[in-house]
Amino acid sequence: MTPEALETLLAGVPSGRLDLPVSALDPPTAAYLGRFLPTGRLLLTGCERAEAPGPVTIEGTGSGAPFDRADVTLRFTLTGDTVSRVEVIVRPAADWSLADTFPPLRGTLLGTLRFSGAVLRLDTDLIAESGEPPVPTATWMAFEGNLLIRPGMELVGLLFPGESHPLSGEITMVSLAPPGITPAAPLVPSVALYGPADAGLDLGLFTLTNLRYGLFGLPDLNYHTLDHRVRGRWSSRRASRCRRAA
């Protein structure tokens, strides 16, 4: 995409609104972002364009799914006469749930969890890491945020004390349906989030070390109805035990 074509797409920003069709971007970028934007568009209100030198940066508020009411930063990096990188950085409100952005997670373990300080990042630089050759449709969204420990999470709170835990990981939109099926099965999120690495727990006579837990959303397919569902799972890594010296 040329700088002139980019300016055409951003023509509505001075009026405070952006309606960006991902199909107008280069094909790898459109294939990647389109996995996470089921309507094929990124809608922002209250837009402002940063005046600082560097990447073309637009800030606004998401309008409609999947980033409704979230703070969104859209960034285009230019290399010569080409847009070489596109980033969409989403900061949901406090007490946000994954199910707020990914409805297939409603009713699952992941859908019940709440986060503060969550940041969802789509970055076309990640396409290069998706495989050899790169596969835009297999490229993930990066995630980081603080999991809020609430009543009912006693096991997590026992092994990993604290009112919140920093988590990071990846979310990938997938379909397990055979290709060519009509109508196509909607994409669902495959989730892998991990807690702090190498945590420890003092149990008095000995200390558990190398503790870590993960939260997963595992899609599967009903082959009779061709409907997806996502199963939530929590797991912890086996710990080492260090005996306290007498």
Using one digit for the tens of pLDDT, what is the confidence trace for 52-87? 788 999 999 999 999 999 999 999 999 999 999 999
What is the torsional sign of CA 76, 77, 82, 88? negative
Question: 18: buried, middle or exposed (CB in 10 Å: 19+, 13-18, 0-12)?
Answer: buried
Please enumerate, as own/partner, the contacts of 7-14 that have beta carbons within 8 Å and a separation of 24 or more.
Answer: 10/49, 10/56, 10/58, 12/47, 13/47, 13/48, 13/49, 13/58, 14/49
Residue 6: which residues within 8 A CB-CB, separation 6 or more? 56, 76, 78, 83
- The strand pairing partners of 219, in sequence order, are 230
Per-residue pLDDT, 154: 62
User: pLDDT band for position 246 (50/70/90)?
Assistant: very low
Distance between CA atoms of 213 and 197, rounded to whole angstroms?
8
Token pair 């970055």 is found at 123
In tens, the pLDDT along 201-233 reads 665 566 666 677 889 999 998 877 778 889 888
Residue 21: which residues within 8 A CB-CB, separation 6 or more? 40, 41
Token pair 């402002």 is found at 48
